[in-house]
Amino acid sequence: MQAIKDIYRIGYGPSSSHTIAPMRAAKIFLENNEPFETYTVNLYGSLALTGKGHHTDRILKEVLGERAKINFCLDRSKDNCFEIIGRNKTKEVLWHIRSLGGGAIEIAEFPELDDNKEVYELNHFSQIKQYLKDHDLSLIEYIKSHENDLEAHLNEALNAMLESVERGLKYEAKINDDLKIDKIAKQLYEQAILKHDDDLKKMSYAYSASEENALGHTVVTAPTLGSCGIVASLMYYAYHDLKIEKDRLIQALMVGGLFGNIIKTNATISGALGGCQAEVGSACAMASAMIAFLNNEDLDVIEYAAEIGIEHHLGLTCDPVKGYVIIPCIERNAVAILRSFDAAKLSANLLKFRTHLVSFDMVVSSMNYTGQKLSPELKETSLGGLALEFKDDQTA
């Protein structure tokens, strides 16, 4: 398993696989090659179909220069991948890159990327649980023994999450002219205060971070940007409303990150590869485990919470309307933060009366299977599902 650190990447919205991943690849290309006279990027699969709405071309031009040529290639045989080509009169360099979700990339011509290094020997939660038992270790001790630079990074990620929610609660703005959608987080928060409604407050926090993402502002993958509102909402609620110390929240991020990492390793966290169950489902599992951890529950309850968090998102499709990370994404983040609290509550109470039959590893395997069976129309291509309802609509 790779580093948990990479589950939490700080970057510009609206999509980790469509903005952070191409941006990182383009920067690495520039750092490792001589300057070229021209740059061309060919986008395939979901990157071609929803790249415009996800600002892929804009971010690539920011890195490679305004004159870079971005081609949206409607070749259905290639999934979430792209090519970067640098040319001058005497030389041409071509890189083949795959966007893996959460901003992770695989560059065929440059395999020695830091974030592709294996850091953990064990890939399944059952193995980790047994290891902790055999060595009398806590989950936090286990994680820290594998990543000694994690705390500093998580401190930064936590602050960026808190700032994203805080910022979004303060102002009103139009999110998108095409969809005629305005920000709503501030009004939701004001309603929550007026009605003393904690659930509405949590949803307003999720709206806030997700709207910041849709606006292309700085947010944090958890595990992706499309699903960034869920863990950010939890962190903001825990810090501001429950007054939990940052050190404890950083530990919670470690726990959530481990579950996200197991999903990334054994299934996928990419909507383009596995549908929204891989993004919002994974984020809900992470947040569910984190809530159980913050409630001082034992490892079985934490695992069960994560399992419930993802089980009831199985089969969830990714069908962003007009290719924007707005509908259904933002509302879905708000619904999932409440589901996380429900999952943590249910797991703590159910386990008093019976053991659970479905393990976290089982549900991850099932999610992977389901993701492979989902048709390409329902995996971030905007060719099916809800997106189809608005295909010719000018006033969604």
- Note whether 328 binds ligand SF4 by CB under 6 A: yes
Region from 79-87, 159-167, 325-333, 349-357 binding ligand SF4, contact rule CB under 6 A: 325-333
Q: Which of residues 55-114 bind ligand SF4 (CB under 6 A)?
A: none
Let me know: does 176 contact 210? Beta carbons within 8 Å: no
Count interface residues toward ligand SF4 (CB under 6 A). Answer: 12
Q: Is 323 in the site for ligand SF4 (CB under 6 A)?
A: no
| Orientation of helix 150-168 relative to helix 198-214, angle to 10° | 100
Strands 81-87 and 38-43, by their bridges, are antiparallel
- Interaction of residue 271 with ligand SF4, rule CB under 6 A: yes
Give the chain's length. 396
Interaction with ligand SF4 in 140-159: which residues (CB under 6 A)?
none
Among 6, 297, 311, 380, binds ligand SF4 (CB under 6 A): 380
Q: Which is nearer to ligand SF4, 212 or 279 (CB)?
A: 279
Stretch that binds ligand SF4, among 68-76, 304-312, 322-330, 354-362 (CB under 6 A): 322-330
Instruction: Check if the beta carbon of residue 357 is closer than 8 Å to that of residue 304.
Output: no
For the stretch 240-247, contacts whose Cβ atoms lie closer than 8 Å and that sit 24 or more positions apart, written own/partner, are 241/198, 241/201, 242/294, 244/294, 246/155, 246/158
Binding range to ligand SF4, per CB under 6 A, among 59-67, 103-111, 132-140, 324-332: 324-332
The per-residue b/e assignment along 295-316, b for 16 or more CB within 10 angstroms, e otherwise, is eebebebbbbbbbbbbbbbebb
User: Which CB atom, from 25 or from 374, has the smaller least distance to ligand SF4?
Assistant: 374
Does 229 participate in binding ligand SF4 (rule CB under 6 A)?
no
Paired residues of 219 in beta bridges: 11
Q: Minimum CB separation from ligand SF4 for residue 173, in Å?
A: 20
β-pair partners for 82: 43, 97
The verdict on 325 binding ligand SF4 (CB under 6 A) reads yes
Q: Which residue has the tokens 């609206």?
A: 14
**By CB under 6 A, is residue 19 in contact with ligand SF4?**
no
> Are 10 and 156 in contact, with CB atoms under 8 Å apart?
yes
- Is the Cβ of residue 84 or residue 228 nearer to ligand SF4 in the bound state? 228
Q: Which of residues 231, 329, 344, 364 is near ligand SF4 by CB under 6 A? A: 329
- Kindly list the distances between the CA atom of residue 63 and the CA atoms of 21, 24, 137, 342, in Å, as whole numbers in the listed order: 12, 9, 44, 42
Which H or E element spans position 220? strand 218-220
Question: Which residues, other chains included, contact 170 with Cβ-Cβ below 8 Å and sequence gap of 6+?
Answer: 186
**Does residue 226 interact with ligand SF4 by CB under 6 A?**
yes
* Least distance in angstroms from the C-beta of 210 to ligand SF4: 8
- Comparison of 227 and 261: residue with beta carbon closer to ligand SF4: 227
Sketch the per residue contact string, 272 through 311, with ligand SF4: x for CB under 6 A, - otherwise. Answer: ----x--xx-------------------------------
When the beta carbons of 185 and 280 are compared against ligand SF4, the nearer one is: 280
Footprint of ligand SF4 on this chain (CB under 6 A)?
A: 226-227, 271, 276, 279-280, 318, 320, 325, 328-329, 380
